[in-house]
Amino acid sequence: MAFTPLPTRLVTDRFELTPQEPADAGWLAVLFTTRGRGEVSEAEARERIARMHALTAEHGIGALVLRPRDGGPPVGYAAVVVGRGTVEEPELAYELLPEAHGRGYATEAARAVLDAAHATGRARIWATIRPWNAASLRVAEKLGFRRDHVMTDHDGDLVWFLHEVPAVPGHGGGPAAAGG
């Protein structure tokens, strides 16, 4: 099934969303470190940026950085990635620096990325969220995701949410494309 690539520039009220660049390694290292799974160096962040670029080249989807239109420094990213899903049914992800939380930024940026993900021809987009992550659960709810099922892995329960739109004409896979 052919999908169009995720755009490399989206604009919302407060952000310009563009791909990660090597110059983002400093604040991304801080962001990755806040996950609490050990210190992530700037060099490691630079490698993750390169891996994300490779995945984007392969799958046509990836991460976009929230760059404030008022000229402030980047505050995080919103992404559509294979993650725990598939190329056909990828997952939405969002992660912001702690000081940027609580201002509606994730919802604003993730909504633009979610819409763009559907516009690539993908009818179903997943989000996988730990049940304790109230802020992320609320973002998913505001975006219109519905709870689908729960799986358990080594870190505990993981709730799978689904955002579905009618199949996009011209992309196959659904009734809207039948007959060409």
Ligand X SMILES: CC(C)(COP(=O)(O)OP(=O)(O)OC[C@H]1O[C@@H](n2cnc3c(N)ncnc32)[C@H](O)[C@@H]1OP(=O)(O)O)[C@@H](O)C(=O)NCCC(=O)NCCS
Asked if 135 interacts with ligand X (CB under 6 A), we say yes
Q: What are phi and psi of 92, to 5 degrees?
A: -90, 140
Interface positions, 87-106, toward ligand X (CB under 6 A)? 94-96, 101-106
CB of 150 to ligand X, least distance (A): 14
CA distance 150 to 134: 16
- Max Cα distance, the chain (Å): 54
Binding map of ligand X across residues 138-157, x = CB under 6 A, - = no contact: xx------------------
- Stretch of 55-63, 115-123, 136-144, 162-170 lying at the interface with ligand X (CB under 6 A): 136-144
Is residue 154 a contact partner of residue 113, using CB atoms and an 8 Å limit? no
Helix or strand (DSSP H, E) at 162: strand 156-164
Residues in the chain: 180
Q: How many residues bind ligand X (CB under 6 A)?
A: 17
Output 22 or 131, the one with its CB closest to ligand X. 131
Half-sphere exposure of 16 (CA within 13 A, CB side): 9
CB of 103 to ligand X, least distance (A): 6
Interface positions, 66-85, toward ligand X (CB under 6 A)? none
CA distance 105 to 102: 7
Binding site for ligand X (CB under 6 A): 94-96, 101-107, 129, 133-136, 138-139
